[in-house]
Amino acid sequence: MPSSDRKRDYYEVLGVSRTAGEEEIKKAYRRLAIQFHPDRNPGNKQAEERFKEINEAYQVLSDPEKRSQYDRFGHAAFEGPQAAGGFGGFDFSQGFEEVFSDIFGDFFGTGRGRARSHSRRGEDLRYDLEVEFEEAARGTEKIIKFQRLTICEGCNGTRARGGAEGVRTCPNCRGTGQVRTQQGFFSISTTCGQCRGEGMIIADPCPRCQGQGRVRKPVSLSVRIPPGVDNGSRLKLRNEGEAGYAGGAPGDLYVVVHVKEHPLFVRQDNDVVIEVPVSFPQAALGAELEVPTLDGKIKLKLPPGTQSGKIFRLKGKGFVDLHGYGRGDQLVRIVVETPRRLTARQRELLEEFARTSGEDVNHPMAKGFVDKLKEMFG
């Protein structure tokens, strides 16, 4: 390196004042290091020298003790036999690793000396469960059976015969899962080839799980289906998924509910709709009907002159809201059924009825329709 009388002032190199704080120095270094990094300036010797100069300045000004010596003695504080070798005795990868570890992670070896965790969370599972319409309305409890990966009892998840005693630290990376190589003035970490980055070696795998630490087993679970579930509702059962790997947390189980169609009821949000067929005489004269609900049968009075399509609302006879916001209603839609085959006597009576019926009184809808036709077409 150039002698002290030829070196630029470290504060000038980073473009900061002599009273600059630690954060200001770090920001200045980050900006300049990215700008003059050799990877961004391949073959540019001037940029490479500038990059070395920036790193040297940062290593001094970022260290309180070194900065104090520099402020007192200048560059002379770091010259002499103790600074021989390399770039004036400075490790230029050190400052770069410190400031850029949040971006590049272990690429520059920031995980030095620490064993990496290779545990993984278990996979989530899905189970499709079919329930009856009434079960979805009232709630129920179901036993479900499926298979999942569980912790191997032979090795307690360690993957080695005899348990944890069969697991030893990788001698190549000393348990870190990474090996360090020097490239220029950078120290680069790569995955250990001997243990494949796990930091441990299993010489004798568990025979029960073939060294996987998990085995697939059949499971039976009781699942509570809350009242009000709808078709497609998902119930989450925490930690009931597959077992984690190498000590990782278990996954979750998602039960997807499929509600069977009902022969009479149709669900609309939290309401229940049912169509009830009635005869012409019942609709005309009125009747008392027996109507099914989710809670059993009830009596419904049909007033005389009820029209087809008329809807009667039964309060609180629908589905319970899944989130606790009350209960829906049951909607009873009346459908007047026209007879298809008549006896001679029935036809005679209907013809008599037709002759004696007054359109204005008994068929106001039909009369109104005819009046509108006349207005349109004259």
Judgement on whether residues 241 and 138 belong to the same structural domain of the protein:
yes
Percent of the chain with pLDDT over 70: 81
Residue 342 lies in a domain: yes
Judgement on whether residues 287 and 303 belong to the same structural domain of the protein:
yes
**Is it the case that residue 48 has pLDDT exceeding 90?**
no
Residue 286 lies in a domain: yes
Cα distance between residue 264 and residue 331, in whole Å: 12
Tokens 């969370």 identify what position? 121
Cα distance between residue 181 and residue 191, in whole Å: 11
Res 233: pLDDT: 93
Residue 40 lies in a domain: yes
Q: Structure pTM?
A: 0.59
Judgement on whether residues 255 and 132 belong to the same structural domain of the protein:
yes
Judgement on whether residues 219 and 276 belong to the same structural domain of the protein:
no
**Is it the case that residue 63 has pLDDT exceeding 80?**
yes
Residue 4 lies in a domain: no
Full domain range(s) for residue 244? 125-259
What's the token pair of residue 73?
């003695």
Judgement on whether residues 176 and 247 belong to the same structural domain of the protein:
yes
Among 70-84, 98-112, 136-150, 363-377, name the one with the lowest average pLDDT: 98-112
pLDDT band at 112 (very low <50, low <70, confident <90, very high): very low
For 207-224, give the DSSP string: TTTTTSSEEEEEEEEEEE
Residue 113 lies in a domain: no
The 8-class DSSP code of residue 158 comes to S
Q: For residue range 322-372, what is the model confidence (pLDDT) as tens digits?
A: 888 899 999 999 999 988 888 999 899 888 888 887 655 556 666 566 677
Q: Output the domain CATH number for residue 14.
A: 1.10.287.110
| Burial class for 70, CB neighbours closer than 10 Å (0-12, 13-18, 19+) | buried
Q: Output the domain CATH number for residue 250.
A: 2.10.230.10
**Is it the case that residue 88 has pLDDT exceeding 60?**
no
Residue 324 lies in a domain: yes
Cα distance between residue 184 and residue 92, in whole Å: 10
**Is it the case that residue 373 has pLDDT exceeding 90?**
no
Conformation bin of residue 164: beta by default, left when phi > 0, alpha when psi is -120 to 50: alpha
Judgement on whether residues 281 and 367 belong to the same structural domain of the protein:
yes
- Which of 259, 289, 320 represents a domain boundary (last residue)? 259
- Which of 82, 108, 134 represents a domain boundary (last residue)? 108
Looking at the structure of the chain, the number of domains it has is 3
Judgement on whether residues 158 and 51 belong to the same structural domain of the protein:
no
